[in-house]
Structure 1
Amino acid sequence: MHLKNQYKMGCTSGVAAGEFEVQNTIQQEGNQDLVIDGCPIACVQKILEQKGIKGFKHIIVTEFGIDKEATFDFEPAIIIQMIDKIMY
């Protein structure tokens, strides 16, 4: 998705810190923002909403059976499920 220029990575910490340039990049007109949270606490979503950023797609990776741990050991089919949810 990044290589196809559909989405690009942003800095949530920069938004939380009030970095104006980062916040403008996230809300550029015509772009669909994608928020990926690692667990149901949804810290990234909360940070963006507190800064008035809305209208983004949001996924929580633990809802796809990926445990919140420091590993990328999961079934590749899960990636397809996440992409389907993001794109449709």
Structure 2
Amino acid sequence: RQLSKDKKGAMSCLAGIGGNISGFIKSTEGADEVLVIDGCPLSCARKTLEEKGLTSFKHMMVTDIGFKKGQTEVNQENIARVCDKAAELLGLCK
């Protein structure tokens, strides 16, 4: 949400993509860049996009930056860590 608020990206609906909602799939296909953020090594978000034939994206797992699923506190510092890593992957300046 912070990336959207900072106008560095826009969120979409992963369930909509998985549910074959054409508008979400077309939006993803038409995006200049897509960053998929997963919460654990199972990579459900990445796999959902791949299942729909969407393969042109960058992928981030928050566990790679030290987060533990269900244990890492949601606070401004951790939100900033995710945003910084996302900006790095997308080649954006802070």
Q: Matches of 2:62 and 2:35 in 1, distance apart?
A: 13
Q: TM-score, normalised by structure 2?
A: 0.76
User: How many equivalent pairs are there?
Assistant: 87
Which residue in 2 is equivalent to 1:32?
33
Q: Which residue of 2 aligns with 1:14?
A: 16
Assess if the C-alpha contact under 8 Å between 2:14 and 2:45 holds in 1.
yes
Letter in 2 for 1:47: T
Residue 92 (structure 2) pairs with residue 86 (structure 1): no
Identity of aligned residues (%): 29
Gaps of 5+ in 2: none
Aligned twin of 1:61: 62
Give the match's secondary structure for 1:35: strand
CA RMSD, Structure 1 to Structure 2 (Å): 2.3
**How far 1:53 sits from its partner (Å)?**
0.2
TM-score by length of 1: 0.80
Indicate the SS of the match to 2:30: coil
Determine the structure 1 residue equivalent to 2:25: 23
Other structure's SS at 2:36 match = strand
